[in-house]
Structure 1
Amino acid sequence: MQNGRILITRPEPENTVSCERLHSLGWSTVPLPMLEIMPIEDAQQRAVIRSQIFNIDVFDYVIFVSKNAARLACDWLDACWPMLPMGVHWIGIGQGTTQTLLDEGVPALSNPGHTTEALLEWLKPVRMKQQKILIVRGLGGRPELGEKLEERGAKVSYLCLYERKKPEYLAQTFVMLPDIDVIWVTSGESLVNLSEYATRYKPEWKKHPILTPSNRVNQQAIEMGWIKAQCAHGADDNSLIKATQLFTGRQHDR
């Protein structure tokens, strides 16, 4: 695979980080973000965010759903809390999100898996009844986590720090791209955007190996016509690199 190219669809700034990691391992990359992360800029919404951050100490658990959620939340925490409040359990979904928090000095824990479903499984032994939980995410995020926690008796609130938008690419963008061998996709929304562009401009891509972060997204890819979809069991670089090595090795053996 060192001579092949990996299409990286992560949003920035994570896309650049992943490309640099792969370059250090001797692999070639083609960066093509399939999501744009736009921090909330509306003054009224930012005032609401600031108020929520100042009151974050009322929560028993603060759960971050992504690295972007963690990164942006840490900026707000730095501005509003010279020292982090005591008594809050900080939890990142997935190792990458948790590491982002740890790098910023937030003593976060992570569930053993990489998905919302894995987090819910991990939290089973914990008494959620009457616990106050804040879920930090983007606007319009998946509702399953909050709904399942509320079913257990938790009191769930949301802190939305960013919007996700589909990048606008012209046909010329795809004409100029070099050939690729493997595709990394790290969320269901990125997969939907990629599939729309592939159908329109690069239908041959659907015959390439595509690595997905979870069984849910992998099934989604299969249903969208990606014939070589493979679950990497994580959206972090380590999981995707390992899956790339294993999958391309199997392909070579054939």
Structure 2
Amino acid sequence: MSQCHILITRPQPENQLSCERVKQQGWQAVPLPMLNIEAIKDPAQVALIRSQIFNIDEYKYVIFVSKNAARLACEWLDECWPMLPIGINWIGIGQGTTQSLLAGGVPAIANPGHTSEALLDWLKPVKMRNEKVLIIRGLGGRPELGQQLQDRGAKVSYLSLYERRKPTYYAQTFFMLPDIDLIWVTSGESLTHLTDYANAHKPEWKSLPILTPSARVNQIAQELGWNKATNANGADDNSLIKATEIQTGK
């Protein structure tokens, strides 16, 4: 299926990078981001972010929940910390997030697995009681990770660097797209937005193979009526490419 058309729903700027990887595999990439990532720009909130970054050396663990969190945090760390503070455990959830941190000069490690649930399982042996933990994320992120760390006695704080918004598309956008053979979705929120647009403009998409990043999102996809949802066990390009090869028989 060298002419396999894959709909890439990841937000920018990662969408473009994923499209390039797809093309390298000999497939056809069709970009259609289902999330817009917007860095927080409100002056009062920016001042609070700067203050938290300057005080980041107070934390034993700093956890980044996404590539966007990693990318924006690296920009803030470059501005506020010419030399990174020592004694911090920098943790990226998933290989893609961790690679973004490493590329930005942050000596991060990745938990085995690629989800918040896998991270919690990995941290079980670690004595979290009274340890200060900072979770870097987008506004309104999932609360489960922080809540469960608090249940273990950790002192959890949050740093929100961006907002996630639903992009606006019109019927003509979908009319102009080529026929799609397979879909990549990399978060539950993107999946929800995709479902809204598919229900309105492309109901036939819901019979296509769709790759999801985790068991949790795969379950959501099935509940939303995606008949051929498959867990790729990761939101990174390598995991999605491997799952695509299985789907296409490449």
When normalised by structure 2's length, the TM-score is 0.99
Distance in 1 (alpha carbons) for counterparts of 2:112 and 2:88: 20
CA distance in 1, matches of 2:230, 2:129: 37
The equivalent residue for 1:114 is 114
Q: Could you say which residue in structure 1 is the equivalent of 2:219?
A: 219
Q: What is the aligned partner in structure 2 of residue 133 from structure 1?
A: 133
CA deviations on 1:54-111 (whole Å, 9 max, x unpaired) are 0000000000000000000000000000000010110000000000000111000101
Q: Secondary structure at the match of 2:38?
A: strand
Q: What letter corresponds to residue 20 of structure 1 in structure 2?
A: E
Moved over 2 A (4+): none
Secondary structure of the corresponding residue to residue 11 of structure 1: coil
Counterpart of 2:70, as a letter, is A
CA distance in 1, matches of 2:156, 2:2: 46
Q: How far apart in 2 are the matches of 1:98 and 1:122?
A: 16
Residue in 2 that maps onto 1:32? 32
| TM-fit CA distance, 1:22 | 1.2
SS class of match (2:130): coil
Query: Which residue matches 2:94?
Result: 94
SS of the residue aligned with 2:127?
coil
Match in the other structure for 2:69: 69
Aligned to 2:78: 78
Q: Which residue of 2 aligns with 1:194?
A: 194
The residue correspondences of 1:226-245 to structure 2 (distance < 5 A) are 226-245=226-245
Instruction: Give the secondary structure class of the aligned counterpart of 2:120.
Output: helix
- Taking the aligned partners of 2:205 and 2:29, their CA distance within structure 1 comes to 15
Q: For residue 26 of structure 1, report the CA deviation from its aligned partner.
A: 1.3
Report the residue type matching 2:164 in the other structure: R
Please tell me the residue identity of whatever aligns with 2:148: K
Q: Which residue of 2 aligns with 1:43?
A: 43
Aligned to 1:157, the other structure's residue is in SS state: strand
Q: Does the alignment pair 1:144 with 2:129?
A: no
AA aligned to 1:55 is: N
RMSD, aligned α-carbons: 0.8
How far has the Cα of 1:213 moved from its partner? 0.2
Distance in structure 2 (CA, Å) of the matches to 1:115 and 1:244: 20
CA distance in 2, matches of 1:30, 1:88: 40
TM-score between the two structures when normalised by the length of structure 1: 0.97
Deviation of residue 136 (structure 1)? Answer: 0.1
CA separation in 2, counterparts of 1:163 and 1:114? 22
The 5 Å alignment of 1:171-210 reads 171-210=171-210
How far apart in 2 are the matches of 1:56 and 1:6?
A: 40
Deviation at 1:2, TM superposition (A): 1.6
CA distance in 1 between counterparts of 2:220 and 2:25 reads 30
- Percent identity, aligned pairs only, is 71
Deviation at 1:24, TM superposition (A): 1.5
Residue 102 of structure 2 aligns with an amino acid whose one-letter code is: L
Amino acid at match of 1:153: G
Structure 1: 5+ residue runs without aligned partners?
none
| Number of the residue aligned with 2:11 | 11
1:248 positional shift: 2.6
